[in-house]
Amino acid sequence: MDQWIFWTVVALVGLAIVAASIVVARDRRRQELERGREEAELEAPTDEEGAPAGEAPVIEDRRPEPAPVPEEPLPEPEPEVLEPAVEQPEAPRSRMARLRRRLASSNNALARALADLLSVDQLDEDTWDDFEATLIASDLGVGPTTELTEALRRDFAVDGVSDPAQAKGILRDELVRLVDPTLDRTLNLEKDGDNPAVVLVVGVNGTGKTTTVGKLARVLVAEGKTVMLGAADTFRAAAAEQLATWGERVGVETVRSHEGADPASVAFDAVAKGAEAGVDVVIIDTAGRLHTKTGLMDELGKVKRVVEKKAKVSEVLLVLDATTGQNGMTQARIFGEVVDVTGVVLTKLDGSAKGGIVVQVQRELGVPVKLIGLGEGVDDLAPFDTHGFVAGILGE
């Protein structure tokens, strides 16, 4: 009996242990499942409000669509800095040296004639005639040629001609005397009160007026002066265009009008605008071609008169083409009768052995050559210098 009770108790205890183990195991399993789910929830992506993905409340989002974010603009390329097409003028000193060499290379006829003169043992009449012919060919003119030959004959008779250097020195002195170093060749660029100095550039078409205006503006700008250009050659539209192009190169303003406009009114406007802008100098380019000579001259006279209602004309520069010889002299005479020419610009002396025209034109007009053009380049204009010029035409 006691044994039966003992085994019954053992069996009950065993059953209780098994039941307890099952309960514990089931609890542990449930805890593990819950922990696993929490971890899964923590790792799952959530929406913007923090709700687990897929569990977001189904509320219609009525907020306006966010404006599309503009694409990041590509960096702008560095803007190209357009330097004004203004060129730096050559320094006057190197310009003079270069132009003198050019003069020498095209004007050594006189030097050759002198060498011929000195190469003969006996200076006879034929030799002197040849020498005179060379002077005439260089456009010195009959009067100056006779003067020069007589002076040389006299000097050579006194000093002899055995020393070529001395003979050349005598010829140089005589030429300098003819060209006349005492003439005042400075440009009158004095302002008229508050008004700018006015330079009127006249001459027959094709002599190089427009080119001279451009080159002169460049020289003046290089000297620190402020300049304005007036395109009073309204005869051809291309003339104003050509002048405006020069203005752009030099960095100065050009006052212009339409083809056929009244040249006097364009010139007046240029001076008025120049005065308003306070510039130092206004340079006016005029027409060189009209149907009649009288028409051209009347027009020039009017341009000058109208401009002078505003400001004094300080310089009237006559542009002559050195290669046209006696034709140029006729032009000089005609222009001289209509406008008071105050200075001559002799162009195209490069490639021309006609430097003698300087002497002729000065005598004819009674005014000095103030500038010379020795090429088509922008810096091929130089102030006239007697000694440099004579050295140039002697091929030195």
Q: Which among 317, 319, 371, 338 has a CA at the least distance from the CA of 199?
A: 317
Could you tell me the smallest distance in angstroms from the CB atom of residue 147 to ligand GTP? 28
Q: Which among 97, 84, 358, 361 has a CA at the least distance from the CA of 247?
A: 84
Q: Which is nearer to ligand GTP, 172 or 209 (CB)?
A: 209
Q: Which is nearer to ligand GTP, 134 or 210 (CB)?
A: 210
Q: Which is nearer to ligand GTP, 205 or 265 (CB)?
A: 205
Question: Within the chain, how many helices (H) and strands (E) appear?
Answer: 13, 8
Report the 10 Å Cβ neighbour count for 279: 21
Q: Which is nearer to ligand GTP, 230 or 373 (CB)?
A: 373
Residue indicated by tokens 């149907």: 291
Does 295 carry a binding-site annotation? no
Contact residues: ligand GTP, CB under 6 A: 203, 205-211, 233, 239, 288-289, 347-348, 350, 373-376, 380
Within 44-141, where are the H helices? 92-106, 109-119, 125-137
What residue number has its CB nearest to ligand GTP? 373
Could you tell me the smallest distance in angstroms from the CB atom of residue 203 to ligand GTP? 6
Q: Which is nearer to ligand GTP, 143 or 206 (CB)?
A: 206
Reading the block at residue 230, the tokens are 């007036």
Does 226 carry a binding-site annotation? no
Q: Which is nearer to ligand GTP, 171 or 375 (CB)?
A: 375
Q: Which is nearer to ligand GTP, 148 or 216 (CB)?
A: 216
Residue indicated by tokens 């006349």: 180
Does 348 carry a binding-site annotation? yes
- Give the CA distances from residue 277 to residues 228, 255, 272, 273, 282, in Å, rounded to whole numbers and listed in that order: 9, 12, 9, 6, 11
Does 278 carry a binding-site annotation? no
d(CA 266, CA 274): 12
183 pairs with which residues across the strands? none
Sheet of 343-347: strand order equals: 253-255, 227-232, 281-286, 197-202, 313-321, 343-347, 369-373, 381-383
DSSP per residue over 260-302, as a string? T--HHHHHHHHHHHHHHHT-SEEEEEE----SSHHHHHHHHHH
Binding residues: 203-210, 285-289, 347-350
Binding residues for GTP: 203-210, 285-289, 347-350
